[in-house]
Amino acid sequence: MRVLLIERDPDDARLARQLLSSGSSGGLKADLECDWIDTPAGVFEALGRRRYDVVVLSLEPCDESALDTLAWLREAAPWVPVVALSRSGDDRMALEVLHRGAQDCLAKDELEGRSLIRALRYAVERNKAARMSAVERDFAAAVTVGAGNLVIVLDRKGRVLRFSRACELLTGFSEREVLGRHPWDTFLGPEDGGRLRDSVRRMTFGAAPQRDDLVWVTKTGETRVVTGCTVPLYEPDGSVGRIVWTGVDATARVAAEKELEAGRERLRTALTGMVYALSRIVETRDPYTAGHQKGVGRLAAAIGAEMGLEPEQVRGLNLAGIVHDIGKVSVPAEILVKPSALSEFEFGLVRRHPQVGYDILKDIDFPWPIAKIILQHHERLDGSGYPFGLKGKDIILEARILAVADTVEAMASHRPYRPAVGVAAALAEVARYAGTLYDPEAVRACVGLFREKGFMLTDQAGRASNVGEP
């Protein structure tokens, strides 16, 4: 027991400490520490330095400063009980300190060690009991006012102490049926029960409140999804005495979210089918690039995954690659299959395909920036690309990745005007211009895929090629 003694008179302070020491050695309290300050004003600093179980406040007749300190203690530190010491016969002061919240008032000149220790111990216990009763009242009020909420109070071992009316209505179990039992043995399945059990264990060691989404099993076997929070309740001494779980029935919300996600997935599937259909339009006009777009999409997605992009970003990259040359529908077929070098005018028509592709797709509400990726996939870091000459981070990441995949796949594939140069040469090309034309992180990921992960490109006939193969 830690005692803070407030006494102006050093002789009286010495006597009080001797009494506490003698009472402690008598067996009532074997472990007692007593700190002394000589002015009530020092109590502010003392309580800031350490936690005390009880304050002993010595009073003199008409001691208004001590009375002010008592009032402050009751307001600012209600968890610390106060025992007052006054002169014999000063009944007015004794009544005043009791009225202001002291647990007891003892006569200084009639004290002996064992009675003082006993008074301090009882003061601590009474204060603790009063605070516990207040907590119980507050909890009862919360359960009554928030009758629609699910509220469960558990002891340190996870056994049910209180089970609100809302819990009874939801589960079909009465409070009597679950009292003293663990939730994981009554209305929680093994997995969710284990999660709550772990939360309770952490709470007993002072962990912060934790949110839980749990599946409850009702008395009739129906499952309900509940969402809530596990919170520790602290004893006056700072230890965790009980744990409260409080939440709401979220079954309808979770079902609605699942249906919404299923609808989104159906939409993504439909949009994916649309992308593949658009891709086939280009391939039917240009047999030499048949499969090129699919290959670019596959490689771009692999690069994105290697760089740690989110799965949805990777999915968008794949689809953008599959349709990245859709704008070439505006280019005459004889230019696309021309076996010799293009004229400046013909090359100008080809250079328009990113803008045309963007114009075709911009009004489709994809969940991925496909139109923007297509618009920028021929831009280069140093501004030498087209159609706008964008530089560096002005080019979105997905377009920078697609530029690398497009270059590697195109160089490794046959064209009407040249044979395939092979994967090794294509990788050397993008590595040579990494940081100048191409995003260095995308190049590093692409090279690593082929050299370290064994990634393969496939041609129209389904033949695979890797580093060093034509």
Which domain CATH number covers 405?
Answer: 1.10.3210.10
The pLDDT, as a whole number, for residue 43 is 77
Of 3-12, 75-84, 424-433, give the range with the top mean pLDDT.
424-433
Question: CA-CA distance, 301 to 390, in Å (whole number)?
Answer: 23
Question: CA-CA distance, 327 to 349, in Å (whole number)?
Answer: 10
Q: Are 243 and 316 within one domain?
A: no
Q: Are 344 and 446 within one domain?
A: yes
- Convert 16-29 to b/e letters by CB count within 10 Å (16 or more is b): bbebbeebbeeebb
- The last residue of one of the domains, among 249, 271, 288, is 249
pLDDT at 156 over 70: yes
- 461 pLDDT band, cuts 50/70/90, is very low
- How does DSSP assign 175-199, residue by residue? HHHHTTS-GGGTTB-HHHHHHHHHH
Q: Does residue 141 lie within any of the structural domains?
A: no
Q: Does residue 297 lie within any of the structural domains?
A: yes
Q: What is the pLDDT of residues 298-320, one digit of tens each?
A: 999 999 999 999 999 999 999 99
Tally of domains within the chain: 3
Cβ neighbours, 10 Å, residue 32 = 18
Q: Are 381 and 313 within one domain?
A: yes
DSSP state of 67: H
| Cis bond before residue 470 (omega within 30° of 0) | no
Closest to 328 in 3D by CA, of 366, 300, 292 = 292
Q: Does residue 144 lie within any of the structural domains?
A: no
Q: Does residue 384 lie within any of the structural domains?
A: yes
DSSP state of 78: T
The pLDDT, as a whole number, for residue 366 is 86
Question: CA-CA distance, 222 to 230, in Å (whole number)?
Answer: 23
Closest to 396 in 3D by CA, of 412, 376, 371 = 376
The pLDDT, as a whole number, for residue 348 is 87
Q: Are 191 and 111 within one domain?
A: no
The token duo for 170 is 């939801």
Q: What is the pLDDT of residues 91-127, one digit of tens each?
A: 788 788 888 878 888 887 777 777 788 888 888 887 7
Q: Are 164 and 303 within one domain?
A: no
Mean pLDDT of 262-267: 82
Q: Are 198 and 339 within one domain?
A: no
- Residue 67 · residue 96 · CB < 8 Å: yes
Question: CA-CA distance, 123 to 41, in Å (whole number)?
Answer: 23
104-107 and 82-86 as β-strands: parallel, antiparallel, unpaired? parallel
Q: Are 291 and 356 within one domain?
A: yes
Q: Which domain holds residue 208?
A: 149-249
What is the number of alpha carbons within 13 Å of residue 96 lying toward its C-beta? 17
- Residue 374 · residue 272 · CB < 8 Å: no
Q: Are 166 and 130 within one domain?
A: no
Polymer length in residues for the chain: 470
- Residue 194 · residue 118 · CB < 8 Å: no
Q: Does residue 295 lie within any of the structural domains?
A: yes
Q: Does residue 139 lie within any of the structural domains?
A: no
The pLDDT, as a whole number, for residue 428 is 94
The token duo for 467 is 């580093």
Q: Are 219 and 264 within one domain?
A: no
Q: Which amino acid is at 317?
A: L
- The last residue of one of the domains, among 190, 225, 249, is 249
- 134 pLDDT band, cuts 50/70/90, is low
Helix (H, G, I), strand (E, B) or coil at 245: strand
Q: Does residue 201 lie within any of the structural domains?
A: yes
CA 258 from chain center: how many Å? 21
Q: What is the CATH number of the domain that holds 76?
A: 3.40.50.2300
- Convert 268-277 to b/e letters by CB count within 10 Å (16 or more is b): beebeeebee
Q: What is the CATH number of the domain that holds 244?
A: 3.30.450.20
Rg for the chain (alpha carbons), in Å?
A: 39
- 181 phi/psi in degrees, rounded to 5: -105, 160
- Residue 153 · residue 162 · CB < 8 Å: yes
Q: Does residue 470 lie within any of the structural domains?
A: no
DSSP state of 7: -
Environment class of residue 156 by beta-carbon count within 10 Å: exposed (0-12), middle (13-18) or buried (19+)? Answer: middle
pLDDT at 29 over 60: no
Q: Are 236 and 367 within one domain?
A: no
Q: Are 308 and 440 within one domain?
A: yes
- The last residue of one of the domains, among 249, 265, 292, is 249
The pLDDT, as a whole number, for residue 379 is 96
Q: What is the pLDDT of residues 314-355, one digit of tens each?
A: 999 999 999 898 888 888 877 877 777 888 898 888 889 999
The pLDDT, as a whole number, for residue 287 is 62
- How does DSSP assign 143-178, residue by residue? HHHTTTSEEEEEETTS-EEEE-HHHHHHHS--HHHH
- Residue 374 · residue 320 · CB < 8 Å: yes
Q: Are 48 and 91 within one domain?
A: yes
Question: CA-CA distance, 66 to 40, in Å (whole number)?
Answer: 6
Please name the residues in contact with 76: beta carbons below 8 A apart, sequence gap of 6 or more.
none
pLDDT at 469 over 70: no
